[in-house]
Amino acid sequence: MVHALHEAWRVLLPRGILIDLRPLCSDAPLEIVFAGSSALAGPVDMSPDIAHEIAADQAIDSVVGDGIFNKIQLDHFDFAFYWDTVADMLADLDEYWKDEVILRAGVIRRARALLKKRQPQARVRLRMPMKLEKFVKQ
């Protein structure tokens, strides 16, 4: 990854901006949203991808330490994914995030029960914690 950051530095114009945007490996709340409110079904464990997060942080620290980029901004926010059903959510998680999330059976059961109780207007929401950092080329 350090090599990729050096390549980004090479192709950026002077004072160009590098953006690091990625999900954080922490628990993400799985909720059922309805009529202006929400109910928590439980956490989705994002920790299986922690090795990638650590490697990315180390690579960024390395190029900042080398003085080729300076950090100019750090923000955190939640990025929300929505599904109409728990089955739709499970299919997406299986297809796109199979090895990156752990969703416990009890959380799935609670989500299904909450969704059934609040239908037809209710939806499933996963609020994934995100990190946004900006760096300027030196």
What is the per-residue pLDDT across 78-132, written as a single tens digit (0 to 9) for each? Answer: 999 999 999 999 999 999 998 899 999 999 999 999 999 987 889 999 999 999 9
The predicted pLDDT at position 118 comes to 87
The predicted pLDDT at position 40 comes to 97
Of 21, 22, 24, 15, whose CA–CA distance to 70 is shortest? 15
126: helix, coil or strand?
Answer: strand
Tokens read off for 63 = 């190029």
- Residue 1: band (very low, low, confident or very high) from pLDDT cuts 50, 70, 90: confident
Query: Rounded CA gap, 32 and 34, in Å?
Result: 7
Look-up: residue for tokens 């728990």? 86
Query: Rounded CA gap, 53 and 69, in Å?
Result: 19
In the 3-class helix/strand/coil scheme, how is 26-48 assigned residue by residue?
CCEEEEEEECCEEEEEEEEECHH
pLDDT tens profile 24-77: 998 999 999 998 899 999 999 999 989 999 999 999 999 999 999 999 999 999
The predicted pLDDT at position 53 comes to 93
Beta bridge partners of 114: none
Kindly report the pTM of this predicted structure.
0.85
Query: Rounded CA gap, 31 and 38, in Å?
Result: 6
